[in-house]
Structure 1
Amino acid sequence: MERFHQQINDIVGTHPRPFAVGDRLALREREGMYFGACYYPEQWPEERWATDAKLMREAGFNVVRIGEFAWNDFEPREGAFDFDWLDRCLALLANEGIRVILGTPTASPPKWIMDRHPELYKRDMYGHVRGFGTRMHYCFNGTEYLPYVRRVVGAMAARYKDHPSVVGWQIDNEFGCSDTTWCYCDRCKVAFQRWLRSKYGTIEAVNEAWGTVVWNNRYASFEEIETPKLTVYQLHNPGLQLDFRRFSSDAVRDFMNVQVELLRAAAPGQPITHNMMGTFNEIDYYKMSETLDVAGLDLYPNFPHNEPINPYTPALFHDATRGFKHANYWVLEHQSGTPGGNILKETPKPGELRRWTYQSIARGADAVVYFRWRTATFGAEEYWHGILQHSGVPGRKFEEVRRIGEEVARLAPHLEGTTVRNDVAIVRSFDNDWAFAIQPHAPGYEYLRQVRNYHRYFVECGAGVDVVSPDADFGAYRVVILPNLAIVDDALVGKISRFVEAGGAAVLDFRAGSKQPDNRMRAEVLPGPFKPLLGIAIDDYGIIPLDRKQRVAFEGDGTECEASVWYDVIEPNDAETVASFASDYFAGAPAITRRRHGRGLAYYVGTELDRAGVRKLLDAVLTAQGATPDWTVDHPEVEVSVRSDGGRRVTFAINHASVPVPIRPPAGSVDLLAAEPGAACPEEELLQPNDVFVFLQED
Structure 2
Amino acid sequence: MLFGVCYYPEHWPEERWGTDARMMKEAGMNVVRIGEFAWSKLEPREGEYDFSWLDRIIDLMTEHGIRVILGTPTATPPKWLMDKHPEIYMRDKFGHVRGFGNRRHYCYNSASYYPYITTIVEKLASRYASHPGVMAWQIDNEFGCNETTRCYCDACKLAFQVWLQGKYGDIDAMNERWGTVFWSQIYNEWLEVVLPANTPFPLHNPGLELDYRRFASDSVVKFQKLQIDLIKQYAPHQAVTHNMMGAFNEVDDFELSKELDIASWDNYPNLMFTRDVNPAIAAMQHDMTRGLKGRNFWVMEHQSGQPGGNIMFPTPRPGELRRWTYQSIAHGADGILYFRWRGCLFGAEQFWHAILQHDGKEGRKYNETKQVGEELKRVASLLEGSANASRAAMVRSFDNEWAFEIQPHIMNYSYMDHFTSYYQYFYDHGIGMDIISPNDDFTNYRLLVLSNFIMATDDMVERLYAFVEGGGSLVLDYRAGAKDWDNRMEPLTLPGKFADLLGITVEEYGVMYKDDTRRIKVEGHDEDYRGGKWFDVIVPRGAESMAVFDEDYYAGSPAVTKHVYGKGTAYYIGTELDSALRDLIFNEISICSKVAAHRGSGIRVPHGVELVSRVKVDKTLWFVINHTVKAADILLDGVYEDGLSGRKLAKGISVLEGNGVWMLLEIEAPSE
Q: Deviations over 1:137-187 (max 9, x none)?
A: 000000111111111111111111011111110000000112010000001
User: 1:652 is matched by which residue type in structure 2?
Assistant: F
Q: What is aligned with 1:41? A: 9
Answer whether contact 2:375 2:645 (CA < 8 A) is retained: no
Equivalent residue runs for 1:75-474 within 5 Å: 75-304=43-272, 309-474=277-442
Long gaps (5+) in structure 2: none
Q: What is aligned with 1:694? A: 663
Q: Deviations over 1:465-495 (max 9, x none)?
A: 0111111111111000000000111111110
User: 1:549 is matched by which residue type in structure 2?
Assistant: T
d(CA) in 1 for partners of 2:64 and 2:202?
Answer: 57
Answer whether contact 1:462 1:638 (CA < 8 A) is retained: no
User: 1:599 is matched by which residue type in structure 2?
Assistant: K
Q: Deviations over 1:640-681 (max 9, x none)?
A: 1111123111110111123221112341432212246xx455
SS of the residue corresponding to residue 176 of structure 2 reads helix
Quick one: structure 1 residues 229 and 295, their matched pair in 2 at CA, closer, same or farther if it must change by over 3 Å?
A: same
Quick one: structure 1 residues 531 and 240, their matched pair in 2 at CA, closer, same or farther if it must change by over 3 Å?
A: same
Q: What is aligned with 1:673? A: 644
Long gaps (5+) in structure 1: 1-32
Q: Deviations over 1:449-480 (max 9, x none)?
A: 12101111111111110111111111111000
Quick one: structure 1 residues 605 and 307, their matched pair in 2 at CA, closer, same or farther if it must change by over 3 Å?
A: farther
d(CA) in 1 for partners of 2:365 and 2:51?
Answer: 32
Q: Deviations over 1:203-234 (max 9, x none)?
A: 11111111111111111111111111111211
SS of the residue corresponding to residue 324 of structure 1 reads helix
User: 1:684 is matched by which residue type in structure 2?
Assistant: I
Q: What is aligned with 1:656? A: 627
Answer whether contact 1:275 1:295 (CA < 8 A) is retained: yes
2:26 paired residue among 50, 55, 58 = 58
Answer whether contact 1:536 1:574 (CA < 8 A) is retained: yes
d(CA) in 2 for partners of 1:495 and 1:611?
Answer: 30
d(CA) in 1 for partners of 2:29 and 2:530?
Answer: 49
d(CA) in 2 for partners of 1:680 and 1:692?
Answer: 13
Answer whether contact 2:622 2:664 (CA < 8 A) is retained: yes
1:684 partnered with 2:671: no
User: 2:251 is matched by which residue type in structure 1?
Assistant: I
Cα offset, 1:682, TM superposition: 5.5
SS of the residue corresponding to residue 334 of structure 1 reads strand
User: 2:67 is matched by which residue type in structure 1?
Assistant: R
Q: What is aligned with 1:646? A: 617
SS of the residue corresponding to residue 102 of structure 2 reads coil
2:516 paired residue among 526, 531, 548 = 548
Q: TM-score, normalised by structure 1?
A: 0.93
d(CA) in 1 for partners of 2:534 and 2:54?
Answer: 57
d(CA) in 2 for partners of 1:185 and 1:74?
Answer: 29
Q: What is aligned with 2:542? A: 574
d(CA) in 2 for partners of 1:342 and 1:561?
Answer: 43
d(CA) in 2 for partners of 1:281 and 1:504?
Answer: 29
Cα offset, 1:77, TM superposition: 2.9
Q: Deviations over 1:582-639 (max 9, x none)?
A: 1211111100000001110000000111211121111111111211323253423111
Q: What is aligned with 1:9? A: none
Q: Deviations over 1:501-559 (max 9, x none)?
A: 11110000000000000000001100000001001001110112113111222233344
SS of the residue corresponding to residue 232 of structure 1 reads coil
Equivalent residue runs for 1:499-538 within 5 Å: 499-538=467-506
SS of the residue corresponding to residue 443 of structure 2 reads helix
Percent of residue pairs identical:
50
Quick one: structure 1 residues 682 and 342, their matched pair in 2 at CA, closer, same or farther if it must change by over 3 Å?
A: farther
**RMSD of Structure 2 on Structure 1 (CA):** 1.4
User: 2:60 is matched by which residue type in structure 1?
Assistant: L
User: 2:19 is matched by which residue type in structure 1?
Assistant: T
d(CA) in 1 for partners of 2:666 and 2:499?
Answer: 45
d(CA) in 2 for partners of 1:383 and 1:549?
Answer: 42
d(CA) in 2 for partners of 1:647 and 1:407?
Answer: 23
d(CA) in 1 for partners of 2:607 and 2:497?
Answer: 37
Q: TM-score, normalised by structure 2?
A: 0.97
SS of the residue corresponding to residue 120 of structure 2 reads helix
Q: Deviations over 1:260-318 (max 9, x none)?
A: 11111210110100000001010000011000000010010000388952101111110
1:611 paired residue among 558, 564, 579 = 579
Comparing 203-212 and 529-538, the one that deviates more: 203-212
Answer whether contact 1:324 1:469 (CA < 8 A) is retained: yes
Task: Count residues with an aligned counterpart.
Answer: 665
Cα offset, 1:687, TM superposition: 1.3
Q: What is aligned with 1:637? A: 608
Cα offset, 1:82, TM superposition: 1.8
User: 1:96 is matched by which residue type in structure 2?
Assistant: H
Q: What is aligned with 2:591? A: 623
